[in-house]
Structure 1
Amino acid sequence: MERLATELAALGRDAASVGMPDRREGGLRQLHILGGDGLVSFLVVPRDTCVYVVNVAWVG
């Protein structure tokens, strides 16, 4: 999880287009992990130059 958070932070503002929803940037984003058995929710705040990991869920 730490590595994924580091990679999202390295993307900076471009992290706002990673994951779902597909056709919209910004807001709360979701990214499937662990082959679809997990879900990471994160928020990109460009004015703070931060990526906040909000929730990590495993449904396996």
Structure 2
Amino acid sequence: MSDWKWDYNPDETYIAGGLPPGVVAEVERIATELAALGPDAVRVGRPFDREGGLREFDILGGRGFISFLAVPRQQCVYVCGVTWYG
């Protein structure tokens, strides 16, 4: 198990405010799994050809995606945005 954590950046209201509760639950579930990966989270999602930087990961069968940063120095995955197509 990893010592990494996850958080919203800048905050939950800004990122997840107005989203359906099921979408927020899925985002938080994925963020928890990304944090469990620890330093390997820098290679998950798009872009596929490099690691680090702002990453994207599809949610709920492609009906949206999350943008996140995995920051090894802070041992944290930051959810920076959620795009939901509905």
Tell me which of 22, 40, 49 is aligned to 2:75: 49
Identify the residue that residue 13 of structure 2 maps to in structure 1.
Answer: none
The 2-side partners of 1:21 and 1:13 are apart by 16
Runs of at least 4 residues off by over 6 Å: none
Identify the residue that residue 29 of structure 1 maps to in structure 2.
Answer: 55
1:41 partner amino acid: S
* Gap regions ≥5 residues in structure 1: none
2:62 partner amino acid: G
TM-score by length of 1: 0.93
Question: What is the CA distance between 1:25 and its match in structure 2?
Answer: 0.1
More strand by share: 1
* Gap regions ≥5 residues in structure 2: 1-26
Paired residue total: 60
Higher RCO structure (Cα 8 Å, ≥6 apart):
2
Bigger-Rg structure (1/2): 2
